[in-house]
Amino acid sequence: MVVLDSAKSELSVTAKSRVRRAAKRASYRREDIYRLVDELKLGHIGFTQDGEVIVIPMTVWRHGDFLYFHVANKSRLQKLLDSGQQVCISFAHYDEWVLAKSAFHHSANYRSAVLFCRGARVQDPEEFDAVFKSIIEDIEPGRWSQVRAPNTQERKGTALMRLTIEEGSFKSRTGAPSDNKEDLDLPVWSGTKPACPFK
């Protein structure tokens, strides 16, 4: 169950974050977005540097209404966020392949989110520990009390970044293939299959 800390149940939306194509599949509810982030914990962070577009996959997790990730101290992402620049983080998961009777209508059932964020380095030692504890406890409950806490050198060398979600959207597809009426009698199987064969 997703716990909402914010009084606002939906994210802010502008022309930048509003879903246009297949808009009926969109949601701006924090609950939908938080559930996906909590499940995946893998985000692709996009930003610009010296006029170049860069995207980096990172472990990103949620604690309350904030997103967090950690990098080496004085890394380019830390400097970029500390300077006030916005980043874009995307999360996506294919749940099923959708196999239609025509090549054109093959698709996927998926969940995705695109979030625009700004952030800064966490300076408070208590927040630092609470946030790292939250990800370790989520991976394996009770583990934080068994392992060694970060030492002074590790804290100094690690920049824990807190991100505030300024706006964003969630989009998903579920259901069966959308075959054309004239294709329904074609002698080929159609339906859905797990996107990951190991499920």
CB 61 within 8 A of CB 135: yes
Split into its structural domains, the chain has a count of 1
3-state SS assignment for residue 78: helix
Within a domain: 4: no
- The whole domain housing 132 covers 24-95+109-176
- Find the CATH number of the domain harbouring 157: 2.30.110.10
Query: Can you tell me the distance from the alpha carbon of 137 to that of 24, in angstroms, rounded to the nearest whole number?
Result: 36
Within a domain: 184: no
Strands (E), the chain: 26-27, 42-49, 52-59, 61-63, 66-72, 87-99, 107-121, 158-173, 191-194
3-state SS assignment for residue 185: coil
Tell me, what's the pLDDT at 30?
95
Within a domain: 188: no
* Successive 10-residue mean pLDDT values, the chain, 199 residues: 65 91 91 96 95 95 96 93 95 94 94 96 93 94 94 92 96 92 92 76
Tell me, what's the pLDDT at 6?
58
Tell me, what's the pLDDT at 7?
57
Within a domain: 15: no
Q: What is the DSSP string of 107-161?
A: EEEEEEEEEEEEEEE---HHHHHHHHHHHHHHHSTT-TTTSPPP-HHHHHHEEEE
Query: Can you tell me the distance from the alpha carbon of 150 to that of 73, in angstroms, rounded to the nearest whole number?
Result: 14
Within a domain: 134: yes
Within a domain: 131: yes
Within a domain: 13: no
Tell me, what's the pLDDT at 8?
79
Alpha-carbon distance values, 112 to 91, 95, 173 (Å): 5, 11, 9
- Enter the tokens of residue 75: 């890394």
Beta bridge pairs of residue 163: 67, 119
Tell me, what's the pLDDT at 75?
92
| Backbone region of residue 174 per phi and psi (left: phi > 0; alpha: psi in -120 to 50; beta: other values) | beta
3-state SS assignment for residue 102: coil
Within a domain: 7: no
